[in-house]
Structures are given as C-alpha cells and as structure tokens.
Amino acid sequence: MSKLSGKVAVVTGGNSGIGLAAAKAFVAEGARVVIVGRRAPAVEAAVAELGAAAHGVVGDVGDLSTHERVASEIADRFGAIDVYMANAGMNNIEPSPAVTPASYDAQFATNTRAVFFGVTRALPLMREGASIILTGSIASAKVLENHAVYAGTKAAIGAFARNWALELKARRIRVNVLSPGPTDTPILEKLGVSEADRPAFEQGMASAIPLGRLAKAEELARAALFLAGDDSRFITGMDLRVDGGIALN
C-alpha cells in the first residue's frame, strides 16, 4: 500500500521549489493534495503537472482570509486534513541597519504569522494522528550573513512546533520542522543569483557543505514524506536538518 493512500495533504507554497517537490511526492504515495500559492498561473501549472489528485487555491498566506478559504474548500471537498505542510516563505537578504519596517513586517507576516494562523485554522479539520510539517531553515541555528530577520522568523516556528507537539499530544498530532540548507530551487534567482553567477555560487556553497553540493528539492521532498507518513509515527517536536552538514561548520 502507498504510504499516504487515502490521505489529504495541504502544502502552502506548493507551486514551486521544495513545496512542489513535496506535493509530487505526496501524490505519488496516494495522497490528494491541496496546494496554496500567490500567483494563479503558477498554481494552475503546478496543478496540471500534479494531475487529478491535486487542487489549487490562489491566495497570499500573509492574508488571513486565505486560510479561511483553504479550510472552507477542504471541508467542502475532502472533509478532513491528514498532513499540513506550512512551506510558503520569503527572505530579504539585507544587513540589519538597512531593514525597513515594511521588510520586517513582510517577512514575519509570511514566514511566522501565516504559519501560526494557517495551522490553527486547519486544526479543527485535522484527523487524529495527523502530521504538521513546518518548513524552517538552518538560519534559525546557524548565523548567516544579513539573515537576522529571516532567522528570527524561522526560530519562531521552531518554538511553535515544540509547543504544539505538547498541546496536540492528546490528538496524537505530530509537529515537526524540516530545515533545508542551500537548495537548488528557483528561489536562488529571486535572491539575486543570476544564471551567469550560478557556477561560482554553487562552487562557493559546495566548499562550505560537508557533502559537497547543494541539496535537490526532491531530497527535501523525501524528508517531508518521511515526516508526513507512518515511518515517523514516533517522532514529534523535532527539527530535521536536511543541509548536507553545513550547520556543523
């Protein structure tokens, strides 16, 4: 039997990168998947790629009404949630003196506030024994240059996970953090790494990563699948770092 046969999974930021790779892994293991993303064309393309088991919701997770719509559509279509992966995120790389209130608020709205209210709004729909996966970052534990605000947003969700792991124990809902290291996804371009600069960037990153390369989105997806299914049924409150060992340096 497939690992997620008959399950319903939600992936925010599921239209690209790690989120899309996780959605593909969940579908391949029998789940019906709801992906949430801001850009309608990207969500539609991802749903077409995922196939009949996928449903898309277009909305900004920083807007709390998006979570209301997600919950309402899931209640109408599927009735319950078995896996909730809060994956949507953003990162403005800038030194602390250059951070504006708007930049600070935007990062906390997407990376922290949206996670808190997305999960709490989904909780009434979550079945006993469900799994919550919060996409974190090694930045929450390892100091990275010009990442202070981003690191703060990700440290906060680690605190959420530990608290929720105890709050939800009576329902046997497990809550874990999946923390990627440098990963080869489209977000590199958004962070200003051009196609021409990629070889030098990847070489520089590889020299800092004990395993000698960037992660692939599919490798993060396999870790997400582990946390989503019964293979991790005795794991909760954990931060799983899929970083090639870079946090050790």
Q: Just list the catalytic residues.
A: 150
Q: What SS3 string covers 199-232?
A: HHHHHHHHHHCCCCCCEEHHHHHHHHHHHHCHHH
Q: What phi, psi does 78 have (nearest 5°)?
A: -125, -25
Tell me how far apart the alpha carbons of residues 228 and 131 are, in angstroms, rounded to a whole number. 6
Nearest to 38 by CA among 175, 190, 195, 242: 190
The continuous run of DSSP H or E covering 8 comes out as strand 8-12
Number of continuous H segments (helices) and E segments (strands) in the chain: 9, 9
- Strand segments, DSSP code E, in 47-172 are 54-58, 81-86, 126-135
Tell me how far apart the alpha carbons of residues 86 and 132 are, in angstroms, rounded to a whole number. 8
